[in-house]
Amino acid sequence: MNRLLCSASFVLALAVVAALAVAPAQAQIFVREGASGTGTASDPYGSLQDALADGSSNEIRVAEGTYVPSSSDQSASFVLTDGVTILGGYASDFSTRDPSTFITVLGGDIDQDGTSSGNTYRVVVSPSTLASSATLDGLVISGGNASQLGGSDAGAGLFVDQSSPTVRNVTFRNNQAIVGGGAVLIQGGSPTFESVVFDQNTATATVGGGAVYVIEADPLTIRQSTFVGNQGLSGGALNISAGTVDIDNSEFTQNTSADGGGAIFADTGDLTITRSIFDQNTTSGTTGGGGAIYQVTGSSRITNTVFAGNTTTGTVPGGAIHAAEGSSASIFNSVFTGNAATEARGGAIFLEGADLTATHITALSNDSPDGSAVHAGDGGTATLQNIILWPQTGPVIATTLSGTVSVGAALIDGGLPTAATLIDGAPPVLDANPDYTDAGGSDGVQGTLDDDVRLSEASPAVGYGLFSALPPDDSDLDEDGNTTEFLPLDLDETARVEDSHLADGDSGGPDLGAYETPTILVIPGTADDPPEDSDRGEDSGWRMMAMPAPSTVGDIDDDIFFGPFGLSGSPPTAMIYKWNDSVENDTSEYTGVWDGLSSLSTPIASGEGFILYFFDDDRDPIRPSSPLEFDVPGERPIQDVVVENLSTTALYHLIGNPYPQAFDVSGLTIGGTSGFQAFVWVWDPATESYIRREQGTAGDEVASWQGFFIERSVGSSATSVTFNASGRISEVPFVGKRGRTGEIARIGLRLQAVEEDSVVFSDDLPEVSFRRDAQNDWDVWDATRPIGPSGERARPLLAFKGERADRWVEKAHESRPLPLRYGVRIPLSVRPMGWSGTMRIDAPRWTNIPKAWTVRLIDTKGTPSQDDDVETELEPDGGGYTFEVDNEDAKEAGAHGSVGLPAVVRTPRELKRGRDGGSLTSSDFVLVIAPGESGRGAWGIQARAEGGRAILSWPDDLPANIVIEQSHEESPWTTIETRPEGEAGSNRLRVVLSDLEPGRHEFRLKADVEGTVAYSEVVTVDITMSEAVRIEPVAPNPVSQRSTMTVTVRDPQEVRVELFDVLGRRIVTLFRDSMDGSRPQQVEIDAGELDLASGTYVVRVSGETFVDTQRIAVVR
């Protein structure tokens, strides 16, 4: 899980802290603005100073409002006392606490004049006399002005004097100081800031640290905090004079300085930064440098951090980081993007006699005329390993004045620069596009915070790194207490490398850059306890798998304990099976049997699929608390992978994704004229059925480690398929999908067996699709119907019926062409498989289906007569069709064979295969899909308006029984009784419709084609009026309760409808709005609601070009 915070993460962190309930462990003191009581909840203090002086409790609850330390004394502050906790964010009655809603402000504007000159010097003080830590929580501290030179000239919001307060869920806003620490001054102690926001604080005159000035700290801890828009002379956000500072999960955005360190100025001491973001910080002037960080002396360790868009202006160097002589920096798992020193050295990093070690760095789109990524000068040294510097502007690496740069495994724009040397034993520097997932990010611009530089597709950086370059985990990134191990995680905090890889001397290596392409399969499990009636959990069953590197059965065996049923047993029993597609079997005309693998040395080649049984029991649990993990030590493929020797006598072939990334099925050479159908079958143990992944559609990808069947096309002699390396994509869940849309229309059917309103079995595999490249007969999109698992039970199933190679087969997928002009009729087969009782067919999945299409299910009752047919219209949210089945007359209950996928069973025994096809001669159900409004131009109907007439025309080759339907202003469709005539000079028919009402008229054609009602596209004409306005009389008139009138204007304009009494007094404005031309507008007069007395009233209608009145009588 990526724990690197973005702005939304900070808001979430603050909200979580804010919502915490406060348990009344002891008596509290209560404060509410404007009160004057004794500090109880019912009679609170009105002053926080009174509460601090009370001393009867160490918890003070403060209601929303603004509190100042004094009404006139600028030197007054809220002084924390031993162990005190001040909690803000309470409602005025103290019943609820939510600091984001009930804002509690500790303010410095004591004279309340809106200016800062008379404000308090320091709002809060944590004094050196504290014997125990105090806590501030849920407050806003603002308006402090540390302007007393030589005294209170720093730390306007909070002064920490050799003490260790905890500051949590607090916002410091608009505080200012003339020396340093516009918000906070720390002069010794070990304070902690957690989920704190520093917003628009300033210290621009003498020292700096717009937000925080650290004179000394041992240590200062900052977690999950935000620094935004702060300004300081040196260090826009932080100025660290001395001490130790530990920053984690924090963000520095748009902070500025004039003398080094747009975000942080570190003079001496040790600085640790983890999981943080530096975005658009800036420093200017003629000295200093470091748009994000200027490190003068001391050391820094930066891990899992992103530097984006930080800049220097003028001649100061180091767009992101400037490290001066006497300092050292270590940077790991970090990204530098869009940083710039456009008139100076080091677009990302400048070393002025400093030492840098950088490992697993990704740098792109940084800008400098002299070392866009790194410049080492004045004897500075840089060691860069497992890095990606691509793309960069100008010279990527530069050196001056005896500076040196050494490069280990790397991918660099332009190759190894002349200013750098290659470390002995390192592989050659790559000069190739690293194939980032999305380097432009959501904004489409490289060099900004949203750049996604995870490696994707055929990246040459995958596996090219050196294990020997991995640094120690000094910051304990994985929080396992071990700081001597190799750094185990990447920037996403997913596994960088497993210890077993190092021990085995793996010929591969970690990926270059900040991110690692996963090679570990984790199956997290569904529940921690198995069902009460079973010793196996819900995740037991077969998995269809492949290895992301050439492997052996032993590589699987070392990740799972097979026990007496597995390879470790005596004698060994196979629990891993391959599909041998060349061996004859006695159940099908096609070849193919399951072969058990009983030797640990049996190879599993790249692209080869297999199945593995997971027990999910006490010995091999698959639980959220103990997930099952697989790894593979082999070298991961980065080129095309060819699977060969596929038998031409088989119908199915078991292959699998050979890459550590997910794979787009469109990158596999199936479909078209390849000799294989354009989809793959993946076994889903959760539903105990197959999932179809189709080329070029949403969800057409398979995860790494995923195996699947492909289906041979009719008459194919192909013996190989190729996984094109360009088909690799970002990782998706095992048996997962990636969102992608297409223009293919789909309807998915479902068969359910129901008992007492509960669904016992469900089959939702059948689907019909409509696409422009489909055919009415068998094509590459059609699929045979996989038979259900043959284990303890056989499930009912639903299938389409069609021909394949002159044989009737049951189909899981029916493909038909677009445009759908008239409609289709598709026979359906239901196999109850011995089920007796209630069954239901519905269509729950609709994708890109036009609203006007109609989908009907016809139950023929097994007879040729239509007299007993039962029709049901299927809709996405409809209830479907329910019917009864018993064993004696079960609809097609095993009466016909099926060409189906090899079955996968629940127990570790021989796996049965599908049965041969037979003669399917009849069908009890028919699916009828009629197009209706099937799209512009499908039938060629045209319409135009001439005055008050509409002229319709259409091709003369349409069915002869066409009728015209009309709708006026979205009214119900009605049939027009008229005969068309030939249109001169064309092969079209036309009708002329006269005396039409003004407004919008819609027309469509309707035809009955072989029992299927079909509709044309809808065409529209607008009939305009000849007169300026048409006002229909009020009706009914007289009115007792409610009447309406209709107003239609020819030209769009503002219209007002008002009701007056006979004395000319306006009662109410009934309507006032803009009216469209020739679009009738109804206006309602509700005498009951207006409580009109009996009598005569006048309705006045006025527009920009007319005025009209009507009289109405009210009878009550």
Domain annotation covers residue 1012: yes
3-state secondary structure of 553: helix
Concatenating the DSSP letter of every residue in 762-812 gives EE---EEEEETT--SS--TT-EE-PPPP-SS----EEEEEEEETTEEEEEE
**Is the omega angle on the peptide bond into residue 44 within 30 degrees of 0, that is, cis?**
no
Tens of pLDDT, residue by residue over 1056-1101, are 999 998 888 899 999 999 888 878 889 999 988 888 998 999 999 9
What's the CATH number where 1065 sits?
2.60.40.2550
Q: Please tell me whether residues 809 and 778 are part of one structural domain.
A: yes
Tens of pLDDT, residue by residue over 944-985, are 888 778 898 888 777 777 889 998 877 888 988 777 877 766
Q: Which has the higher per-residue pLDDT, 226 or 736? A: 226
Q: Please tell me whether residues 860 and 763 are part of one structural domain.
A: yes
Tens of pLDDT, residue by residue over 1035-1047, are 999 998 899 999 9
Q: Please tell me whether residues 1054 and 1008 are part of one structural domain.
A: no
Q: Which has the higher per-residue pLDDT, 856 or 234? A: 234
Q: Please tell me whether residues 1047 and 1072 are part of one structural domain.
A: yes
- What is the per-residue pLDDT for 50? 97
- What is the per-residue pLDDT for 821? 66
Q: Please tell me whether residues 881 and 1014 are part of one structural domain.
A: no
Neighbours of 625 (CB within 10 A): 9
- What is the per-residue pLDDT for 822? 66
- What is the per-residue pLDDT for 222? 98
- What is the per-residue pLDDT for 383? 98
The token duo for 556 is 């699987």
Residue 673: partners with Cβ closer than 8 Å, 6 or more residues away: none
| Residue ending a domain, choose from 998, 1023, 1048 | 1023
Per-residue b/e over 715-752, b at no fewer than 16 CB within 10 Å?
A: eeebeebbbbbebbbbbbebbebbeeeeebbbbbbbbb
- What is the per-residue pLDDT for 884? 86
Q: Please tell me whether residues 1033 and 1087 are part of one structural domain.
A: yes
- For residue 101, pLDDT beyond 70: yes
pTM: 0.56
- What is the per-residue pLDDT for 596? 80
Strands 521-523 and 603-604: unpaired
Helix (H) or strand (E) holding 683: strand 676-684
- For residue 564, pLDDT beyond 50: no
- Segment 228-233 mean pLDDT: 98
Concatenating the DSSP letter of every residue in 463-524 gives T-S-GGGPPB-TT-TT-SS-SSSB--B-TTSSBS--HHHHHHT-SS-PPSSS------EEE-
Residue 891 pLDDT level (bands cut at 50, 70, 90): very low
Neighbours of 218 (CB within 10 A): 12
- What is the per-residue pLDDT for 928? 85
Provide the residue range defining the domain that includes 998: 942-980+987-1023
Domain annotation covers residue 863: yes
- For residue 274, pLDDT beyond 60: yes
- For residue 937, pLDDT beyond 80: no
The token duo for 779 is 């094509």
Q: Please tell me whether residues 856 and 835 are part of one structural domain.
A: yes
| Residue ending a domain, choose from 969, 996, 1023 | 1023
Tens of pLDDT, residue by residue over 47-78, are 999 999 998 899 999 999 999 999 999 999 99
Residue 995 pLDDT level (bands cut at 50, 70, 90): confident
Tens of pLDDT, residue by residue over 908-933, are 333 322 333 322 233 578 888 877 54
Q: Which has the higher per-residue pLDDT, 140 or 455? A: 140
Domain annotation covers residue 1000: yes
* Nearest alpha-carbon partner for 208 in 294, 329, 96: 294
- What is the per-residue pLDDT for 39? 96
3-state secondary structure of 225: coil
Using an 8 Å Cβ cutoff, are 159 and 165 in contact? no
- What is the per-residue pLDDT for 1072? 92
Tens of pLDDT, residue by residue over 785-829, are 765 433 333 456 788 887 777 777 788 888 888 777 667 888 888
Residue 834 pLDDT level (bands cut at 50, 70, 90): low
Query: Which of the residue ranges 22-26, 105-109, 1103-1107 would you say has the lowest mean pLDDT?
Result: 22-26
Query: Which of the residue ranges 92-101, 509-518, 645-654, 1029-1038 would you say has the lowest mean pLDDT?
Result: 509-518
Q: How far apart are CA 609 and CA 615, in angstroms?
A: 20
Average pLDDT, the chain: 83
Tens of pLDDT, residue by residue over 14-49, are 333 333 334 443 489 999 999 999 999 999 999 999
Alpha helices in 553-658 (DSSP H): 553-557
Query: Which of the residue ranges 194-203, 363-372, 844-853 would you say has the lowest mean pLDDT?
Result: 844-853
φ, ψ of residue 852 in degrees (nearest 5)? -80, -10
- Chain Cα centroid distance, residue 816: 33
Domain annotation covers residue 967: yes
Percent of the chain with pLDDT over 70: 84
Which residue(s) pair with 1111 in the sheet? 1098
3-state secondary structure of 19: coil
What's the CATH number where 997 sits?
2.60.40.10
- What is the per-residue pLDDT for 1019? 84
Using an 8 Å Cβ cutoff, are 1003 and 1114 in contact? no
Per-residue b/e over 919-953, b at no fewer than 16 CB within 10 Å?
A: ebeebbbbbbbbbbbbeeebbebebeeeeeebbbb
Q: Please tell me whether residues 1074 and 1018 are part of one structural domain.
A: no
- What is the per-residue pLDDT for 1017? 73
CB-based burial label for 279 (10 Å; 0-12, 13-18, 19+)? buried
Q: How far apart are CA 253 and CA 191, in angstroms?
A: 23
Q: Which has the higher per-residue pLDDT, 351 or 990? A: 351
Using an 8 Å Cβ cutoff, are 1049 and 1029 in contact? yes
Residue 972: partners with Cβ closer than 8 Å, 6 or more residues away: none
Q: Please tell me whether residues 955 and 1056 are part of one structural domain.
A: no
Work out how many domains the chain is built from and give that number: 3
The token duo for 1 is 């899980």
The token duo for 621 is 């649990």
Residue 842 pLDDT level (bands cut at 50, 70, 90): very high
Query: Which of the residue ranges 304-318, 349-363, 979-993 would you say has the lowest mean pLDDT?
Result: 979-993
Domain annotation covers residue 815: yes
Q: Please tell me whether residues 774 and 880 are part of one structural domain.
A: yes
Q: Please tell me whether residues 806 and 927 are part of one structural domain.
A: yes
Residue 203: partners with Cβ closer than 8 Å, 6 or more residues away: 154, 176, 177, 178, 179, 180, 181, 182, 209, 210, 213, 231, 232, 233, 239
Using an 8 Å Cβ cutoff, are 176 and 203 in contact? yes
- For residue 579, pLDDT beyond 70: yes
**Residue position matching structure tokens 């935000």:** 226
**Residue position matching structure tokens 């398979």:** 702
Q: Please tell me whether residues 882 and 1002 are part of one structural domain.
A: no
Domain annotation covers residue 626: no
Residue 553 pLDDT level (bands cut at 50, 70, 90): confident
φ, ψ of residue 288 in degrees (nearest 5)? 80, -135
Domain annotation covers residue 1049: yes
**Residue position matching structure tokens 């599993």:** 604
**Residue position matching structure tokens 């002159």:** 806
- For residue 504, pLDDT beyond 50: no
- What is the per-residue pLDDT for 935? 32
- Segment 358-362 mean pLDDT: 98
